[in-house]
Structure formats: structure tokens, C-alpha cells
Amino acid sequence: MQNASSTDPAARPETNRRTGVASFPGNSRIHVSLNVTDLVRSMYFYMHFFGVEPSKVRDGYAKFDLQDPPINFSINENPLDTRNQGHLGIQVKSTCVVQEMYERLQRENFKLITEDGTECCYAVQTKLWVADPDGNRWEVFVTTEPDAEQGCGPDCICHQEFERSFTDASTA
């Protein structure tokens, strides 16, 4: 964090150099914050998507502290700003992890798309896709071959919108 009066790190008071209180593997982790239209419905989706309860819930806000993969993920209820641009993803090390997640999400009747041995991003990948209630698209993938001919063209699923995941329990 920069001191407002100076950008020179040597000029900052020692009290501005503090150790963080969050605990996670490694020295850094990804943070993603999404706007959602309905906090309860989205919390339900992400509890099942990540397989954990939120670590913090406040009015219009929920946070998930994940250790594997290390990510600080938060959702903010803001029904006026839920633009769907790009997609989010979790890269895993094994097709078994993709399969386990597929089975967990399928039990909740989430709308899933799978790709096995697909060429994307100039690599061969096995993956699943799921969209949350606001249309934020997630891929869970393993790279099985590091090089391939195909990149990510305009017809790639990465650029397509697909059916969102709602369940009866998520509207309760």
C-alpha cells in the first residue's frame, strides 16, 4: 500500500509495512469479486461449486476463502451491474478432479457442458463449463497436452453464453 504523501518506499514510515492476516498457501492468491443480482441464490450456487461454506456473510456480501485453489472470492449483491464479460476458470492437475466436480455439480442439477480432449488456447484440455445464476461462466480444466494447433477463435465456447444454473433449492 502506498503512503498518500510519498511513492518512495524508503520514505514510508515503518508502521505502514504490516504483515497480512489472511492465511493461504504460497505468497499470493487470486481475488475475484463478482456482482450478483440475488445474494442468497448466488451463495447457494457457489457453496456447491466450490464445495465449501462462505467464510464471511454480511448484508449484500459473501466471501469464500479457498485453500485449493488459493482464491479470495467474493460476491456483492448489485442487481444493476452484472455485466457478463469473459469467463473465470480453475486449472486443476488431474482429469479426476474435473470428474469429481462434474459429479458434485450434477447432483445439484446444475447445467453443465463438458469437453474432452478439446483444443483451446493452443493446448489440449478436458474441461467442464457451468454458468452461475447471473451468467458468469466458469471452466474447470486440466491441460492434457501442452501444445495444439487451435487457439481460441470466435466460435470457441469461451465466447458463447450458455444456460445458467438454477435449482429449486437456490430460490428458497
C-alpha distances in Å from residue 27, one per residue of 11, 33, 128, 171: 25, 20, 28, 38
Say which DSSP state 33 is in. Answer: E
Q: What is the predicted pLDDT for the residue at 156?
A: 76
Q: What is the predicted pLDDT for the residue at 82?
A: 60
Share of the chain above pLDDT 90, in %: 38
Q: Are strands 88-91 and 137-145 parallel, antiparallel or unpaired?
A: parallel
Length of the chain: 172
pLDDT value at 3 more than 80:
no
Greatest mean pLDDT range, 6-15, 16-25, 49-58, 154-163: 49-58
pLDDT value at 131 more than 50:
yes
- Domain ranges for the chain: 9-171
Residues 9-171, CATH architecture: Roll (3.10)
Digit-coded pLDDT (tens) for 86-115 = 788 898 988 999 999 999 999 999 999 999
pLDDT value at 8 more than 60:
no
**63-85 mean pLDDT:** 83
Question: Residue 131 in contact with residue 111, Cβ under 8 Å?
Answer: yes
Question: Can you tell me the distance from the alpha carbon of 48 to that of 55, in angstroms, rounded to the nearest whole number?
Answer: 14
Verdict on whether the full-model pTM lies above 0.85: no
- Give the CA dihedral 111, 118, 69, 61, nearest 10 degrees: -40
* Stretch (H or E) spanning 45: helix 39-50
pLDDT value at 81 more than 80:
no
Nearest to 49 by CA among 93, 95, 97, 108: 108
Q: What is the predicted pLDDT for the residue at 6?
A: 43
Among 1-15, 46-60, 108-122, whose mean pLDDT is lowest?
1-15
pLDDT value at 17 more than 70:
no
pLDDT value at 18 more than 90:
no
Residue 37: strand, helix, or coil: coil
**115-137 mean pLDDT:** 89
